[in-house]
Structure 1
Amino acid sequence: MNIAFRGAALALLPMLLAACASPTTPTPPAAVADTAVLATAARPEPAFILLGELHDNPDHHRARAGQLRRLIAQEPRTVVVFEQFARSQDAAVARARQAAPGDVDAVIDAAKLDRKSWRWPLHQPLFEAALQSGAEVRGGNIDRDQVRRIVREGDAAWPAELLALRERTAWSGAQQDALRQDIQDGHCGAMPEAMLPGMVQAQRARDASMAQAMLEARQAGAKRVVLIAGNGHVRRDVAVPVYLQAAGVPAADIDAVAYLESGSAAPTGGYDRVERAPAPSREDPCAQFKR
């Protein structure tokens, strides 16, 4: 790869990673049903609930905020894990909660949430739902500098606990290919082939980190843990659920929900169910890569 391009791509890595759940060309809706692929409607509410999103769809955030309020009212000992900030900020977030209960701005400042990259205040309804309901909030992600190192250096840059979790996780060539294709599709086919192995490493590390955050919340006494993340991170076949199951969580105790738009399709076996909302007015999501 051209060195100058590689440097520019690494500098844009936060945007590239956030784009993994961006909408691309719709697939005919006949490819998948909106009903649960793996779950049955009769099963009880699992302890691990993963709510996906398209990051720029405000209807997804509003719908999940309502879902969060319902879940927390049903089980007050719920912890909400957010993709939108790193696990390293948990202590600062807890201090902010103690000093200013219910203050969303104080929490996201403590979390060092990148308002520009996440197009704040799109996610505000979710933070309000969690904080106003009294739920504990935690970060699920890895620090950006660490992500960049993983892209460049691979295994040597993985945090030890996440590498140990990854080593316990069964991973096939088909899963590797599916994740690789998912990342390429999420970047409109513009990702240079030479960068894909590093991007797959980064995606796997972030998935393992979110799973670890959920596991730690459960070990600390949470009766239910809800993950707020992009659709790519909640896929049963290649993402966070894979690492939860590797750590011993039964498949039946995980509920993976994708939030998609009309006319788009989900991968077979990727989610337990799909919720839909209309697409917002947006410019061509591939324009940034064309530029």
Structure 2
Amino acid sequence: MRLIAFLLCLALPAGADPGPEIVILGEVHDNPQAHIKQAAALEALRPTAVVFEMLTAEEAAKADADRSQIAQAWEASGWQNFDIYAPIFDALGRARIIGAAAPRDAVQRVYRDGAAAIFGLEARRFGLDQLLPEAQLAARIDLQFAAHCEAMPREMMGGMVAVQRYRDATFARAALAALETYGPPVAVITGNGHARTDWGIPALIAQAAPEVTTHAIGFVEAETDTPFDETHVIAPTPRENPCNGLNKN
């Protein structure tokens, strides 16, 4: 489905199919065009709440309570380039701001102790107590190895996969909590890797709450085999190769 057609579906009259309850909007973090597209989607969707990968619950609560503090909360999060994310916040309307970023100390403990041990009592609900299928684990290790410029030992990538699973489950849990509290539709702002339908946020929502409907849109810079419900190619943003200067062993 084309993005324009999808957005038109979100504005159907009363009595029509209400559409997905949770819409996951992927992004390339440093690409301004991705955030402009996400903002357009939010304006059409008019969500009750928007879950941000980038903000902790505490940071988001401050921004939600006083919208004049959004930029300060963003700076406190450690994420850069607030200016390119500003269109998203301008498009929020009355949507509540929800933070889903995992605390850094929790992420470090996941790497050491595993996702299920740190996630807590709901680990089983999100499938974190289960080993990944061998083929999926191998594919995810390959992706992590490439994402880290092949500059770290390959045997460390299993821990990176555990962290990604933990973060995906954290984002999914926050989206489901927002849906329960504020009602549909809920939007999620996150990286494309977390928006993929095979093992990202949509898959974990399906695991934890199969009755909840989702729709994942990937805004990508090139044609890709990464699975989304919709894929839209945007112009690449100029950037230095992030692997430049790294020593590869």
Provide TM-score, normalisation by structure 2: 0.83
Residue from 201, 217, 240 that aligns with 1:283: 240
Secondary structure of 1:167's counterpart equals: coil
Q: Cα deviations across residues 134-156 of structure 1 (Å, max 9, x unaligned)?
A: 11010122111211121122247
Secondary structure of 1:163's counterpart equals: coil
What percentage of residue pairs aligned between the two structures are identical? 30
* Alignment map for 1:38-187 (pairs within 5 Å): 45-72=19-46, 78-94=48-64, 97=65, 100=66, 102-103=67-68, 106-110=69-73, 113-115=76-78, 117-130=79-92, 133-155=93-115, 157-167=117-127, 171-187=132-148
Q: Is residue 240 of structure 1 aligned with residue 183 of structure 2?
A: no
- Could you tell me whether the CA contact under 8 Å between 1:85 and 1:140 is conserved in 2? yes
CA distance in 2, matches of 1:169, 1:241: 18
Residue 213 of structure 1 corresponds to: 174
Residue 290 of structure 1 deviates from its aligned partner by 4.7
Relative distance call for 1:236 and 1:155 in structure 2 (3 A) is closer
Relative distance call for 1:281 and 1:245 in structure 2 (3 A) is same
CA distance in 2, matches of 1:152, 1:118: 28
CA distance in 1, matches of 2:151, 2:2: 32
- Could you tell me whether the CA contact under 8 Å between 1:169 and 1:242 is conserved in 2? no
- Could you tell me whether the CA contact under 8 Å between 1:87 and 1:213 is conserved in 2? no
Q: Is residue 255 of structure 1 aligned with residue 229 of structure 2?
A: no
Look up the equivalent residue of 2:135 and give its one-letter code: A
Residue 192 of structure 1 deviates from its aligned partner by 1.8
Q: CA RMSD in A?
A: 2.8
CA distance in 1, matches of 2:61, 2:85: 21
Relative distance call for 1:193 and 1:165 in structure 2 (3 A) is same
CA distance in 2, matches of 1:289, 1:57: 23
Residue 157 of structure 1 deviates from its aligned partner by 4.9
Specify every segment of 5 or more residues in structure 2 that has no aligned partner in the other structure, as ranges: 10-16
Relative distance call for 1:194 and 1:57 in structure 2 (3 A) is same
Relative distance call for 1:165 and 1:288 in structure 2 (3 A) is farther
Secondary structure of 1:147's counterpart equals: helix
Secondary structure of 1:81's counterpart equals: strand
Residue 189 of structure 1 deviates from its aligned partner by 2.7
Q: Cα deviations across residues 133-186 of structure 1 (Å, max 9, x unaligned)?
A: 111010122111211121122247513145233337874222222322222232
Secondary structure of 2:217's counterpart equals: strand
CA distance in 1, matches of 2:116, 2:125: 15
- Could you tell me whether the CA contact under 8 Å between 1:175 and 1:237 is conserved in 2? no
Look up the equivalent residue of 1:135 and give its one-letter code: A
Residue 68 of structure 1 deviates from its aligned partner by 0.8
Residue 15 of structure 1 corresponds to: none
Look up the equivalent residue of 2:70 and give its one-letter code: V
Secondary structure of 2:82's counterpart equals: coil
Secondary structure of 2:125's counterpart equals: helix
Residue 27 of structure 1 corresponds to: none
Q: Which moved more, 1:140-149 or 1:199-208?
A: 140-149
CA distance in 2, matches of 1:288, 1:62: 31
Provide TM-score, normalisation by structure 1: 0.72
Residue 235 of structure 1 deviates from its aligned partner by 0.8
Residue 12 of structure 2 corresponds to: none
Look up the equivalent residue of 1:182 and give its one-letter code: L
Count of aligned pairs between the two proteins: 237
Specify every segment of 5 or more residues in structure 1 that has no aligned partner in the other structure, as ranges: 1-33
Residue 223 of structure 1 deviates from its aligned partner by 1.3
